[in-house]
Amino acid sequence: MSAATTALPGPEELATLLDLAERVARAAGELLATQRPADLGVQSTKSSATDVVTAMDTASEALLLRLLRAERPDDGVLGEEGGASGGTSGVTWVVDPLDGTVNYFYGLPTYAVSVAAVVGDGPPGERPDPRTWTALVGCVHDPVSGRTWTASRGGGARLDGAPLRGPAEVPLDRALVGTGFGYTPQRRAAQARVVADVLPRVRDLRRAGVASLDLCALATGWLDAYYERGLQPWDHAAGALVAAEAGAVVRGLAPGSAPSEEFCLAAAPALVAELGDVLVALDPLAEEPAP
C-alpha cells in the first residue's frame, strides 16, 4: 500500500496496527528490564566510540522482528540495529529496540522501546523517507516506569489509555526545552554553540538522552518544546506521531518542513515559531571543523 496511490487504513485497521505495536513494544521492554546482564558490555559502536551498541539492543530488535513478522509477514521493517527488510504490503514498521542505549549501559533508569507503522510515497519494498512518509500508529514504552504512550493517525494520543492534551503555549522565556546531542566531536561542538545561545533565552534545558521519551514528554506537558539535530528515523517515528496527535507542531528547521535526520523541532504552534526563528538565526546545521 502506498500513501500516494492507495487510501490510508481505516479506523479498524489502525486499531489492529496499534494493538500490535503496543504488544510488541511491551514484550521488548520486558526483555530489556528483566534480562539485562549484570556485566553488560559494549558489543560494537556506531557513529563514534561513544555511540554504543549492546547485546541487549540486538536481542530486543530480534524479538521485535520475530513478533512483527509472525503477524504481518508482508510488511517491511526498518530497525536501528540493521534489521531492515522490504515488504509487499506498503506498510513499514520503524523500530528502535532500545532508545537510550547509553543510559541503559550505565544503569540509568531512562530508556524506551519505540515502534511505529508508516506508509511511504514510493514503490512497495523501498525504504520509506521520514520527510515524505505518513505515520499510521506509534507506541513508545518505558519499561522502568511502565508508562506507555500510543497514537494513531487522526485518533489522538494517549498515555496509559488517557487522552493527552499536548504542550501549553508559553512564551520562550518561560519554556522548559528538551534537546539532545550527537556523538562526534564536531557535531557536539556545534550543538554546544547553539545551546550556549538558547539557554539564556528559556526557563531551562533538559537532556534525557532518549528522543522518543522527550517527544512523549512534550505530548504530556512535561516539556514545553524539544529540538534536536541528527535524529534517525527510528528515533522519532513513534514519538513524533504521539506529539503531533497531542496537538504539538512537529517540523524540521524550516517552517512547514518535515522532521528528519537534519532537524526535529516540536512545540505548541506559537512557541514552535518563536523558538524556530531563534534556531534558524543560530545556523544549527553548521558543522564545527575537526580539532
Residue 104 pLDDT > 50: yes
- What is the rounded average pLDDT of the residues 158-173? 97
Domains of the chain listed by start with CATH number: 11-163 (3.30.540.10), 172-282 (3.40.190.80)
Residue 214, annotated as binding a ligand: no
Q: Tell me if residue 141 falls in helix, strand or coil.
A: strand
The mean-pLDDT minimum among 41-55, 181-195, 203-217, 231-245 falls in 41-55
The whole-chain average pLDDT of the chain stands at 90
Residue 108, annotated as binding a ligand: no
Is the Cα dihedral 245, 58, 25, 213 positive or negative?
Answer: negative
- What is the rounded average pLDDT of the residues 214-225? 98
Placement of cell 557536539 in the chain: 188
Angle, helices 211-220 vs 233-245, to 10°: value is 0
Q: Are 278 and 272 in contact (CB under 8 A)?
A: no
Residue 235, annotated as binding a ligand: yes
Number of H helices, E strands in the chain: 7, 15
**CA–CA dist 31, 35 (Å, integer):** 5
Residue 98, annotated as binding a ligand: yes
Residue type, 236: H
- What is the rounded average pLDDT of the residues 106-112? 94
pLDDT reported for residue 290? 59
The predicted-structure confidence for 12-70, as pLDDT tens digits, reads as follows 999 999 999 999 999 999 999 998 887 765 555 454 444 446 788 889 999 999 999 99
Rg (CA), the chain: 18
The closest of 227, 228, 8, 10 to 134, measured between CA atoms, is 8
pLDDT reported for residue 55? 82
pLDDT reported for residue 129? 87
Confidence bin at 4 (pLDDT 50/70/90): very low
The predicted-structure confidence for 239-271, as pLDDT tens digits, reads as follows 999 999 999 999 999 999 999 999 999 999 999
* Secondary structure letter of residue 225 according to DSSP: E
Residue 204, annotated as binding a ligand: no
CA angle (203 as vertex; 106, 217 as ends), nearest 5: 50
